[in-house]
Amino acid sequence: MRLELRSSFLKVLKWELFNLSRFPIPELILTAGIFITLQAAGVPGNFGVLSGNEHIEKLSFEGCLEEMNNYIGLAVSFGIDRLFLSVALFSVILSSLAFSYEMESGLMAFYLSQPVGRAFIFISKALIIFLINFSACLFSFYFTSVLLVPRQITHLLKSGHIFYSFSLISLEIALFSLSLSVLVAILTQKLSFSVTIGVALILILQAMDQTLWELGFKYLPPTSVKELIFFTFVPAIMPNPPKLSPANVIRIPFVTSLLMSLVAYYQFVTRYEAK
Amino acid sequence: MRGSKIILRLGFTVFLMGVSILSSALSRKTLSTSLEMNGSIHLQEPSSILNLEFAYLLNKTSILHGKFPEGSYGWIEIYDRRGAQLLLSGEESTPLVRERFNTSILFKYSAPYRDYYLIVLRVENVTGRYLVSFSFHQDLETDLLKDSFLIMAFGSVMISIGYVVIPIFEKRVNAPSINANFRTNPSNKEDSRYRL
């Protein structure tokens, strides 16, 4: 019985992988990711903040070279709050295709008539969308870093600190955009509504970035991403960085994402009626 | 998925990545300072002999000696231990560099994949030791343009291999038989078995 369940889940997962990774979608996410991270990397202002502090001034040339890795990470990841917009938009498109389009066209009713649980269908769809976005994010970070300093490729691949930081930031972006877009797609159940409302919500969130920050709601993406970068990279460079609340930086966005995902899961598994 | 399709898709992906790098390089209007950083080198000798370990740019074992005139911004000559001048040499800087760093000459090192520039900002005499502040710079626009063309060319080669070369071999290996023709195209009027 367990084996059957496992094989059916794997079949659904494989099907969704082929369905959602059709030709232009992952490529476009990747292209947008690389474009945005390259655009943002190396803005002089980013280094102006760091070059003025005493810690850097006291370093020898060799010491500065050792700090290079953190600079690369910082340079690349400073553009990440812009990457949120593109990843979130693609997440809306993928979620709308996977959920609301199939609900509207009757494909979902066909899936539900198959001997596969609703939970499996939900998890497989959400998991594939998440994996596509997360891997595109991570790949664009690494690709941009290698483009900036080709000789650093081995260090970038081996450095646990950079991998941890890039993964954490990518995880937050991918998870938040996924949970928001899937929730909208399941609640609306129509492709046009899902895309419109999802895009509108993300644009509002992006536009309110500064306002949210000033109002104190700085732990929701994209504002939390800036805090996360500060929390992960800056302490490695500055000996006495301003105090942050890392627990909030990590906890609040992840809890928000988890809550939205749970609501979407409950709505799909128990409340959704296939037409 | 057949081999040709995989190659074709990978080729398109690589080509699109090249396009995104190209558009990114073209849309950057300002002088890139992506890897700029300020640091200092302590000169041990009063005769202004620059003894810097250029570990990042060159091999880790290479220790370079250079002549550096105190208090001047203009030029730098770097020699290896045997006295031969290395690749690092002064070049007339671009107007943007001149404006930004207030220097007319910058020092270029051609690495295998990238050109790096060392811009000397100031020299200070601190308790008998010379403190040289410098800026490490990379001209990212030019590098990105070169990279993008290279990546697009690589993608194009992959696309042409997937579109032209591999299908030829696949057709030779999987030559369609009468049965295959029957299965794939039952409305084929050319097949003798359909004739009345």
Is B103 an 8 Å CB contact of chain A?
no
Tokens 């596509």 correspond to what residue?
A: A132
B16 vs B121, more confident: B16
The predicted structure's pLDDT at residue B120: 59
Phi and psi torsions of A144, nearest 5°: -65, -40
* Pairwise CB contact (< 8 Å): A148 & B138: yes
pLDDT, tens digit, for every residue of A99-152? 999 888 888 888 888 888 888 889 999 999 999 999 988 888 888 877 776 666
B130, containing H or E segment: strand B129-138
Residue B167 identity (one-letter amino acid): P
Cα(B184)–Cα(B194) distance, integer angstroms: 14
57-86 of B, contacting A, C-beta below 8 A: none
Which of A77-86, A226-235, A253-262, B158-167 shows the highest mean pLDDT?
A253-262
Q: pLDDT class for A227, splitting at 50, 70, 90?
A: confident
Q: Mean pLDDT of all residues in chain A?
A: 77
Residues 6+ apart with CB under 8 A from A170: A134, A137, A138, A141
Q: Which residue, among A18, A22, A27, would best test binding to B if mutated, counting the most B CBs under 10 Å from its CB?
A: A27
- A77-94 residues labelled b (16+ CB within 10 A) or e (exposed): bbbbbbbbbbbbbbbbbb
A175, containing H or E segment: helix A160-188
List the single range of A34-43, A264-273, B121-130 with lowest mean pLDDT: B121-130
Phi and psi torsions of B77, nearest 5°: -125, 130
Cα(A59)–Cα(A54) distance, integer angstroms: 9
The predicted structure's pLDDT at residue A207: 82
Cα(B83)–Cα(B64) distance, integer angstroms: 10
Q: pLDDT class for B52, splitting at 50, 70, 90?
A: very low
CA distances from A214 to A43, A189, A200, B58 (A): 23, 35, 21, 47
The answer to whether the beta carbons of residues B26 and B189 sit under 8 Å apart is no
Beta bridge partners of B129: B126
State pTM to two decimals. Answer: 0.71
B111 vs B170, more confident: B170
Q: Mean pLDDT of all residues in chain B?
A: 59
Counting one residue from A and one from B, how many pairs have CB atoms under 8 Å apart?
102
Q: Which residue, among A18, A38, A238, would best test binding to B if mutated, counting the most B CBs under 10 Å from its CB?
A: A38
This model of the complex carries an ipTM of 0.76
Q: Which two tokens stand for residue B4?
A: 């040709």
Instruction: Quote the percentage of chain A above a pLDDT of 70.
Output: 73
B77, containing H or E segment: strand B77-79
Cα(A133)–Cα(A110) distance, integer angstroms: 27
The predicted structure's pLDDT at residue B76: 42
The predicted structure's pLDDT at residue A44: 35
* Pairwise CB contact (< 8 Å): A148 & B21: no
The predicted structure's pLDDT at residue B179: 53
pLDDT, tens digit, for every residue of A171-217? 888 999 999 999 999 999 888 899 999 999 988 888 887 777 777 77
* Pairwise CB contact (< 8 Å): B37 & A42: no
